[in-house]
Each structure stands twice: as C-alpha cells, then as structure tokens.
A = this chain, B = another copy of it.
Amino acid sequence: MTQAVRHDSMRARNLGVVLAEVRRSGPVTRAALAEITGLTKTTVSKMVGDLLRAGMVTESGTLRDGERGRPGTAVTLSGGRVAALGLEINVDYLSACVVDLTLTVRLRYAQAVDNRASSPVETFSHLRRLAHRAVDEARLAGLVIAGSTLAVPGPVDDGLVHAAPNLGWHDVRVADLLDFPVEVDNEANLAALGELWFGAAPGDFLHVSGEIGIGAGLVVGGALFRGARGLAGELGHVVVSPDGPACRCGGRGCLEQYAGQDALLRAAGLAGAPEGVPRLLERLEAGHRDALGACERAGEALGVALTSAVHLMDPGTIVLGGVFAPLFPWLRDPVRETMTARLAAMRHAVPELTVSRLGGDAATLGAAGQVIHRVVADPWSHVATARTDPAPR
C-alpha cells in the first residue's frame, strides 16, 4: 500500500526528491532544481540549506549557462561527510569497502580466508575485525558511516541465511554474529546493483554472475527484481536440455551443468585443478583445442538459457560478470550467435551483450551502494540529526 502523506513525511519526501535530483543532474542551481522538481524556489532553497548543514551537498562555484542574468551557485553531492560500509563473505575471501555519497570508493580491504573450512562464528569474527578497521579508518577521514550491507553467497530472507551450500551454512542469523547493525542480501542481487551504480550498465539489464554456481540479477527501471520470495534469478538452474546430466538441484540439464565453473573446467580437462580459471585462460590464449571447445559449448548453453530468460523477463541488456568476465572474449560469439538465431525473428532488438568491468568487486560495491541509495532516497533522518546538533559552518 502507498503510505499516507503527513505533514512531516511530505517534508521528508521532498527532501529526498531534491537530493536525488542533485545526484541525477550533477551540479545544478537551486533555480533549476525548482524547475525540475516542480517545487518553488523558496522551498528548494530551504532544503538545500538543510542538506548543506548536514554535509550531504556542497556549493561548488557559480554555474553560468551563457545566458545573461545572475549566475546560479552550483550544488553538488558532497562526498565529505556521509559514507557507507559494504561487506562481503564469499567462499574463499572476505572483503569490505567504504563508499561516500558520490559513490567514490574511499577504502577497500580484502582478506583471503577459506570459509568452507571455518565455522560461521570464526568467519564472522574475521569479518568483524575487518569492518571495525574500515570504520575506524573512515572516521579518521571525517566520514560518518550511515549504515552497512553484507553480501552472502546464498538466498537471504529478512536477515536469515537459510542455506549457503558453498559455505556449509544452515540458518545463520547474521545480526546475532555482528556487533553493529547490518542489512544482508544475496551476492548475485548486490552484484547486479553494483553493476548498476558503479559499472557502465544502463537502467535495464540482466547481470549474470558466473561463479561455482550461476546467479543472475535483473534490474528494471533502476530497481532490482526479486520475485515473490526473493528467490528470482537462479539462471544456473534454467533447463538447457531436459534429459541432460543430473544437477545437484535435483533437476537434469541445468545450465550449471554446462557452463558452471566446475563443468567448464572439467570439459577443458582441468577438473579439480587448483587455480583452475587462470590455467584455463592460459590454455585459451595458447589456442588449446579442448579449452576452446569447452568455452564454445558453454557459450552455446548460456545462449540457450539466456534465450529463455529474455523471453520471460525482457531485459534491455545482458551483462556477463564473475568468471564469465575474463572468459568473455571466448564466450561472446557463441552466446550471441545462439541468442540471435533464436530471438531475432521475434524481437526487433536482441539484447546487447556486454561484459562487467567490476568483476569480483561488484557485490561488495553494490552492498555499500545500497546504503547510499537509501540515504539519498530518504535523507530526512540524517538531516534531522544534523539539525538538532548543528555542525559548524
């Protein structure tokens, strides 16, 4: 249900509209903001004042558009005060980053830890240290951490990680294991949002993150699609061939059996090899026949699964990330040809196929970005606290 608008929430909402517009339109004058939002100059001025005091925007010189008349003072997002903490737990590493309001990455930490071998309690004690180090460092730089989000490799339901098979977790409640408030979300979802906010992706795309499993996050109109229970995007188990090899999910012929990291390495004759992906890349560059064939077949399977995905979800663009990013030169053609052959007759535009620039950082960045996104959409609480405790000019 849409929420009722009360007097105070009207103010809060308009403040969010103004701040979001500042972000969208880069440096803008108050007058332009008034024009765009439909609010009056008076109202915008008051709000910009509040945002200035809260350290969320700054004035950055004057802005002349060549016309005559008094030039406006440019208002821009300020990266100096508000920041967010992004965290990620994955199979073989932990990572953290601090991102400011302008989506500039301020700090980045990564730590190799084999989380399969350790219990959730151990993993989280490492993560806690990493997070505290990041927060302390950020404080020294004058930043205020507005919140944090944690990415985990598995479906999440309201802070509860029901099962993360690759970590061996069952029913882990994250809030009980950390000493600061944190949001938790699926790694594939956050990677898609990372691509949205930090990558080159437009507002409508399907982000495919190939790891041991294959997940996907769909972004439509700048918002993540989660499905009824938050389990949408399991591209790895889309059926490629109904009588294909059995999958750990209980099905047969799932995409993961053709294009998952394990299947790919096995097909290239690198089953169980340590450092499998780098070695696969070497062989591909050397023109090894087995490796090339493995990629081509994986690409065709991915093309078939993506054909189904396009018919069902109609994404504007498809972004390949995770291990598919370095393999993109070899996957691109088979994927695209398979999709074009199957889609072109029905659609004017087959979705464009691109590669992620972020690689493994996407989820951690997306986690921090989620907090920033929320602050920008609802800056009221931050402004309100800054108001009662006015910051020195």
Residues of A with Cβ closer than 8 Å to B? 1-6, 10, 13-14, 16-18, 20-21, 24, 37-39, 204, 216, 220-221, 225-242, 248-252, 304-305, 307-309, 311-316, 341-347, 349, 377
Contacts and interface: CB of A to CB of B under 8 A. Distances in A.
Contacts of A377: 2
B227 A220 contact: yes
Contacts of A239: 239-240, 304-305, 307-308, 342
A127 B141 CA distance: 69
B345 A249 contact: yes
A186 to B, nearest CB: 12
Given A6-B38, A13-B2, A312 B313 contact: yes
Given A4-B17, A249-B343, 14 more contacts: A2-B377, A10-B10, A204-B228, A220-B227, A234-B346, A235-B311, A235-B312, A238-B312, A239-B308, A239-B342, A241-B242, A248-B345, A250-B341, A313-B313
Contacts of A10: 5, 10
Given A227-B220, A308-B238, A308-B308, A344 B4 contact: no
A37 B6 CA distance: 10
Contact of A233 (B6, B221, B309, B312): B312
A251 B303 CA distance: 12
24 contacts: A3-B38, A4-B13, A5-B5, A6-B39, A220-B225, A226-B314, A227-B313, A231-B347, A232-B312, A234-B346, A235-B311, A237-B346, A238-B308, A239-B239, A239-B304, A239-B342, A248-B345, A249-B342, A249-B343, A249-B346, A250-B346, A251-B307, A252-B342, A312-B313
Contact of A38 (B4, B14, B248): B4
Contacts of A235: 311-312
Nearest to A220: B228
A20 B242 CA distance: 45
Residue of A16, A18, A37, A242 with most partner-chain B CB within 10 A: A242
A312 B314 contact: no
B1 A227 contact: no
